[in-house]
Structure 1
Amino acid sequence: MSLEHAIWWHVYPLGALGAPIHDVGQVAPANRLVRLEAWLDYAVELGCSGLLLGPIFASTSHGYDTLDYFRIDPRLGDDAAFDHLIEEAGRRGLRVLLDGVFNHVGIAHPLVAEAVAAGHGLIRLEQVDGQVQPAGWEGHGDLALLDHSRPEVADLVTEVMLHWLRRGIAGWRLDVAYAVPSAFWSEVIDRVRTEFADAIFLGEVIHGDYVRIVTEGHLDSVTQYELWKAIWSSLADRNLWELDWALARHAEFCAALLPNTFIGNHDVDRIASTVGPDGAALAAAILFSLPGMPSIYYGDEQGFTGTKGTGRHADDPLRPPLPDGPDALAPDGWWLYRLYQELIGLRRRHPWLATGEVTVLGKDNSWIEYEVTGSGQKLAARISLEPTASVQLSVAGGESLSWPRS
């Protein structure tokens, strides 16, 4: 799969498939992965080439507190359910990335108790008031850090990656990649690529030196959070000078790597809540007219809304259940879905956009004009907030796309 042609539909399975996340207790196992099959054609018709799945391994609650890397979460299904999903996705030409949470595990993971009992192990330990305990991640007492200095941890992560690649996935999203030493990633990825040379590795990087992290860690891509922030805040604040600044940075990154571009994910406020429905349309136009490897967070293409709250239920509004199938979606989101289809269609017909060079031609607070060039071709874009929100995209000597439609 060429990453230049990749467009991902990003799904948080536990939320999207209606699995219980809080106070799980003795929840009965259920094959919820089968519900995702009803959405595969929807993703293909949207224009996507792959599924980027959030955590699906056995965990305590939200999926990022792993209990067993080799077992499908029983709230989602089992090995047979997973194999069926991979088969159905592949039949439609959809590749699958899994979320690899290899910075930490859940506090109830057997490795934690083993390390504490022995005073050493695969978990990073610390002394607190004279007692040995697992080191938590960023103040989260329910998450225990893996000790990436130990070769056994590299062995474990390599084994996990190979296990699921052999089961048919295309690669991995690496959770909290910025917090894991680059030398660890490079060792593991090099070992995995001896068997799967084309495996994909996308690192979650919120901040840091994107190019260095990709280069030193031997990754393929990282999440372009700088661009995400500039898109929503420049639209919300009516200050497209911020987007201009971010596009200069984006051009530098794109000269060295193919960043994962996005306007929403499972950790951030929904774009339609942040900038409104018209702003969501502008954000989508920016996303698909710029270089990079785009991903679409499920529901953003329908104008789903939701903002991050507080406490243990803070992320619930960002990770809602999908209905049983696309036919059950509310009717008022389909206009945005159709705009996404048009934008993705234009991008599909001009794949050079993924690796093109972006240059800003002019801007003010309420409008920006830029062009993307590559392979001897050029796309011109104008994004305007006034007098009303509008988009104009045109390919030199060829097609054009405008919104709203006259």
Structure 2
Amino acid sequence: MFKEAVYHRPKNNYAYPYDENTLHIQLRTKKNDIDHVFLIHGDPFIWEDGEWQTDETIMEKSGSDQLFDYWFVEIKPEYRRLRYCFVLETEEEKAVYTEKGFYEEVPLDDIAYHFCFPFLNRKDVFTAPLWVKETVWYQIFPERFGNGNSELNPEGTVPWGSEDPKPDSFFGGDFQGVIDHLDHLTELGINGLYFTPIFKAYSNHKYDTIDYMEIDPQFGDKETFRTLVQECHKRGIRVMLDAVFNHSGYYFAPFQDVLENGVNSPYYQWFHMWENEVETEPLPNYDAFAFVSHMPKLNTEHPEVKKYLLDVARYWIEEFDIDGWRLDVANEVDHAFWRDFRRTVKSVKPEAYILGEIWHDSMPWLQGDQFDAVMNYPFTNAVLKYFTQQYSLNQFKDQITHVQHMYPQNVNEVSFNLLDSHDTPRILTYAKGNKDAVKLMYLFQMSFEGTPCIYYGDEIGMTGGEDPDCRKCMVWEKDEQDRDIFRFVQQLISLRKSESAFGNESRFRFKEHEDVLVYEKQKDDQTLVFIMNPTKQLKTVTLNDKVKRKLKMEERATLNDSHVTIAPYGYFVYEKE
């Protein structure tokens, strides 16, 4: 028994309240090292004849990655208190793992040996908005989605789609262009819109904010935006805005004052200045996003900055009824600010969704006091690499299993699962034009736990490399759209809504197979099995259970008795008896 690999801590993703009556407990062990794990648990105040009274519950192996096995159990403590330890068994050995270390037998004379979950307080349950679990997002880069009012075109605007985008291109996208095409989103099945920044800014991408309280005039005015939100809500579509609170733009009025007056500016402390005089070239002598001089970092610890930004957070919800905030470069802003941000947002709209842009392990932000979710880039990376044959099946399963076990289950259920964005190459380009590989990516994304997001235009086969090429103008001419991809994504969204085990809040588990991807989704009385073949070879799979029915999807496989023959880049999805 490799005891050095055994790990548990009674907090974060290893022990947490799933709801007001239920605890989830997880243990990590060395891969393929332990045969059985039992949880020994009891109320710390129930004793008889000087001995602590306990129950024993077997733990389930919930997944494995390259190095570790993960064990899981759900417990409903009668009095909402719990002390516990773990019994680990192999054929040759038994060990009891406690907070004080390893023992041969369960210590019952003193509860101080044992891990402690002091009390299941309702306030400590991680609660994200319920509606997010049923949401399929669509990301819009406003400058490139639709030009509905040419009178708003900024100087230098070129005709729609007339050339490939450059870093400083303007094509005239605006709010009216989005309103004009909401039926496209409704037809696809979208019920959440995520807009990259819409506030007044110098650039086309608007991540260099000039005024957080004003709409950029190229997009329209506040009344047009109000109409856009109202039209979305009529269609059952929620609206999430992008906020850049880590840094402002170069032309943000307080920063302009600092440039002019240096240390004598009343806004000098609004930023992280290094010297009395400000220099922007060749490198800034102040903190900025990366070393970009026109994106000076805001001092969110300063009370005036904090008040200003929290007023921004409150204003757009109160005045325009938006449904969420996506927070740019969220990991570089102090935790105290985000706690105040959450209190502010939730006090105005308790069901607002707070999403952080963080590309790495984000547990410190996901403990119920800051964000509801983060952008799930570890998921993105695994899906892209596996379905383009850069990852082996085992590497993919290792990575996805690791993603699943990084956070509590109620966090995973609202995790923002994207395949690409305005910051990355489009998936069809990443897949080198392999449309069938892209379909498999969508099938996995839409059937995985969490809330999926589609980048505008991907659903009609748009292409594009690194920024700015991934920010091309939306193609609205039907004869230039790939309607086959559109219908496929449309069908997946429909299945996600109509089949209880297909989408969120269903249990996901990999099944063993050597060279094709097989996994199950189970919810209530329904179990769906997904088989995918992201290779150039024909594959045959022997089924270990009976097929109750095939899901009505395009035929990419042939069923013959208990054997399924799957075409290259094909798939087979069925409900088992």
Query: Shared fold by TM > 0.5?
Result: yes
Cα distance in 2 for partners of 1:43, 1:395 equals: 37
Cα distance in 2 for partners of 1:78, 1:270 equals: 31
Alignment correspondent of 2:212: 69
Alignment correspondent of 2:504: 354
Tell me which amino acid in the other structure corresponds to 2:195: L
1:256 positional shift: 4.3
Q: Deviations over 1:184-237 (max 9, x none)?
A: 111111122112111111111111x22322216521111110010011111222
Alignment correspondent of 1:375: 524
Distance 1:128 1:297, change over 3 A: farther
The structure that has the greater radius of gyration is: 2
Please give the TM-score of this superposition, normalised by the length of structure 2. Answer: 0.63
Q: Residues 130-209 of structure 1 correspond to what in structure 2 (within 5 A)?
A: 133-166=285-318, 167-207=320-360, 209=361
Cα distance in 2 for partners of 1:136, 1:260 equals: 27
Alignment correspondent of 1:11: 140
Alignment correspondent of 2:194: 52
Pairs aligned (count): 390
Cα distance in 2 for partners of 1:94, 1:216 equals: 25
Q: In structure 1, list runs of 5 or more residues that go unmatched.
A: 309-314
1:262 positional shift: 1.3
Q: Residues 258-277 of structure 1 correspond to what in structure 2 (within 5 A)?
A: 258-275=414-431, 276-277=434-435
Alignment correspondent of 1:93: 236
Distance 1:193 1:74, change over 3 A: same
Alignment correspondent of 2:127: none
SS, match of residue 301 in structure 2? coil
2:274 to 126, 135, 138: 126
Alignment correspondent of 2:11: none
Alignment correspondent of 2:457: 299
* CA root-mean-square deviation: 2.8
1:105 positional shift: 0.8
Cα distance in 1 for partners of 2:234, 2:393 equals: 42
Whether contact under 8 Å (2:356, 2:375) holds in the other structure is yes
Tell me which amino acid in the other structure corresponds to 2:462: F
SS, match of residue 270 in structure 2? coil
Alignment correspondent of 1:242: 395
Tell me which amino acid in the other structure corresponds to 2:216: D
Distance 1:336 1:114, change over 3 A: same
Whether contact under 8 Å (1:183, 1:217) holds in the other structure is no
Cα distance in 1 for partners of 2:384, 2:403 equals: 15
Alignment correspondent of 2:47: none
* 1:329 matches 2:329: no
Whether contact under 8 Å (2:299, 2:305) holds in the other structure is yes
1:316 positional shift: 2.2
Cα distance in 1 for partners of 2:355, 2:286 equals: 28
Alignment correspondent of 2:364: 212
Cα distance in 1 for partners of 2:497, 2:382 equals: 25
SS, match of residue 420 in structure 2? coil
Distance 1:254 1:344, change over 3 A: farther
SS, match of residue 347 in structure 1? helix
Tell me which amino acid in the other structure corresponds to 2:196: G
Whether contact under 8 Å (1:86, 1:96) holds in the other structure is yes
Instruction: Choose between structure 1 and 2: higher helix proportion.
Output: 1
Distance 1:262 1:195, change over 3 A: same
Tell me which amino acid in the other structure corresponds to 2:422: H
Identity of aligned residues (%): 26
Distance 1:91 1:125, change over 3 A: same
Q: Residues 310-321 of structure 1 correspond to what in structure 2 (within 5 A)?
A: 315-321=467-473
Farther off after superposition, 8-17 or 352-361: 352-361
SS, match of residue 355 in structure 2? strand
Q: In structure 2, list runs of 5 or more residues that go unmatched.
A: 1-129, 148-152, 158-165, 558-577
Alignment correspondent of 2:179: 37
Cα distance in 2 for partners of 1:94, 1:234 equals: 32
